[in-house]
Structure 1
Amino acid sequence: PDVILLDMVMPRQDGLTTIPRLKEIIPAAKILVLSSFAESNRVYQAVKTGALGYMLKDTPRVQLLQAIRDVARGQASIHPSIAMKVINDFDNKDGSGDSIEHLTHREMETLRLIARGLSNQEIATTLVVHERTIAKYVSSILNKLHLANRTQAALYAIREGLAAPVN
């Protein structure tokens, strides 16, 4: 296939795991993600793993067909509302990119504990806060660092020297 339309949520495997596998099997294929998720961290991860485009499921047919044509020609195609979010993300970062400097003190503590393998409940107990508060911290950490999940957050923390690898 010239273009692969891919959903981010599938029964057996998520889109972020599928994209690199597809690129490995069919290197010339171009991937256009069609998703209901508009969060910029999902877009970053999709592009980082090999997608050339990212459109929302409510995209009008004409616009979607144009995106497919663009991706088939090797041009990136991002839904306009997502493109605006990405631009706003960069504006809010003052051009500094992915940086731990944008994390609050509590988010840093949470990130260190994630890297040690603690669950949200265990982190909440350690920091003497509600588990929902930790869930909000984790979501904020993932968004600020453009990470897709806790595993990536733990690896990021270890790479940046915030935590030692767990044996």
Structure 2
Amino acid sequence: MKKVKLHVQVSKASPNENIYYVREGAALLIKDGWKMKNRTWSNWILVPPAGIRHPDAIIETVIPDIYEVRELANKIHKAGLPWRGRAFGWNAEYSQSQDRNMGGKPSRIVNFPAYFFIGELGLWMISLRWEHGDNNPPRVISDTSCIVHEPPVEVRTSNYAKNYI
């Protein structure tokens, strides 16, 4: 598990009120003190905590690393049963591979590979897809575009200190 900062995109819902539209990450903002005013079919309408006029929607949270996700996904994949739940504090799901007849003819049978998904679309996610068969390694797809990457801190030492390091 690693601690990260996620940038949750918000847009002003009303020019005169302190109300914002949020598509992804509303649950994280609510956990961080935002209040839900309403919900539409595509957006959450949220009010930031008191005293915040121009919110900086950067949320600190914890996400699993790829090794933890891969270990869990492989364990669930070996069981071979559909699964949906929470893992590492995030929604996750697994679906086993399926052959579906797409039109009544044997030549129209389509294979849908097994997959494992964890995260929240639009914030961060990791997906493993067994595209080359259940006995081959899965293809890993990830989206970490909303993770805020802070520049590395440069540590300078004096010549005096270098002699003792």
TM-score normalised by the chain length of structure 1: 0.28
Q: Which has the larger radius of gyration?
A: 2
Structure with the higher strand share, 1 or 2: 2
Structure with the higher helix share, 1 or 2: 1
TM-score normalised by the chain length of structure 2: 0.28
